[in-house]
Amino acid sequence: MAGNIELLSATLAKAKSEDRAALIAYLPAGFPTVDGGIEAVKAVLDAGADVVEIGLPHSDPVLDGPVIQTADDIALRGGVKIADVMRTVREAHRASGKPVLVMTYWNPIDRYGIERFTAELAEAGGAGCILPDLPVQESEVWRKHAEQHGLATVFVVAPSSTDERLAKITAAGSGFVYAASLMGVTGTRASVGAQAEDLVRRTRATTDLPVCVGLGVSNPEQAAEVAAFADGVIVGSAFVKRILDAPDEAAGLAAVRELASELARGVRRN
């Protein structure tokens, strides 16, 4: 099953050829349950997401906001394991034929074993990994194993990254670049949006890789706004919140399906 990085690249290129941004959804494995999480991921892909990121729940998700922290806590209390993450990847990819990545902090991979993790992710049909806290200068062993298994290594850049740092990060990465910014509260959003647009411009100056933005997008209007300057729009908390707010699992599935459909229209509204 190795080589799904090509599927990821082809999916992003197809969106570009259609003159739109790709819709990339994020949901944690094991939330609200392992089976419920798999159904939620399938629903989001079925309703219009081009790519999905499966979060590997972590006890100290320092880079995630309270919504995703709450979901991670539910998944961990439910006993989610890395095997469940791999099963989620396998079933989502098999059902949709679309690229599925894992987003994880470095510590769980380090404990599990790099070779074991990359081999299992490739075998499950995974397209790669987003590693928000792995410094590029410490990533060589990971990248070697990922490359051997046909997996993308997606690094995260931020508005605080210098141009020199951006060049180092993008030279080491593959698949796409994850540009992280925060939408902020109403009133600051215009300036934060401008900051994200500037980050995309600076990142593109260093690489031909697609640049996808995680910006606190939660509705089709915001998706359209980000799609105007980015290659992909990454949405996580909004999906998680729909499930958290739902009275039961069926309502949660309907809610994420509806949101994916709305966002898919949003990224096409240019």
126 dihedral zone (left: phi>0; alpha: psi -120 to 50; beta): beta
Residue in 35, 46, 50, 53 annotated catalytic: 53
Residue type, 108: P
> Cis peptide leading into 99, omega within 30 of 0?
no
* 64 is a catalytic site residue: yes
Residue in 39, 64, 120, 197 annotated catalytic: 64
Adjacency order of strands within the sheet including 232-235: 152-154, 128-130, 100-103, 51-55, 22-28, 232-235, 211-214, 177-180, 156-157
How far is it, in rounded angstroms, from Cα 199 to Cα 212?
Answer: 11
How far is it, in rounded angstroms, from Cα 45 to Cα 39?
Answer: 10
Give 98-155 as a 3 state SS string.
Answer: CCEEEECCHHHHHHHCHHHHHHHHHHCCCCEEECCCCCHHHCHHHHHHHHHCCCEEEC
Both tokens of 150, joined, read: 């046909």
Both tokens of 178, joined, read: 């994850």
End-to-end CA distance of the chain: 36
CA distances to 110, 111, 221 from 59, in Å? 15, 14, 33
How far is it, in rounded angstroms, from Cα 90 to Cα 106?
Answer: 21
> Which residues are marked as active site?
53, 64
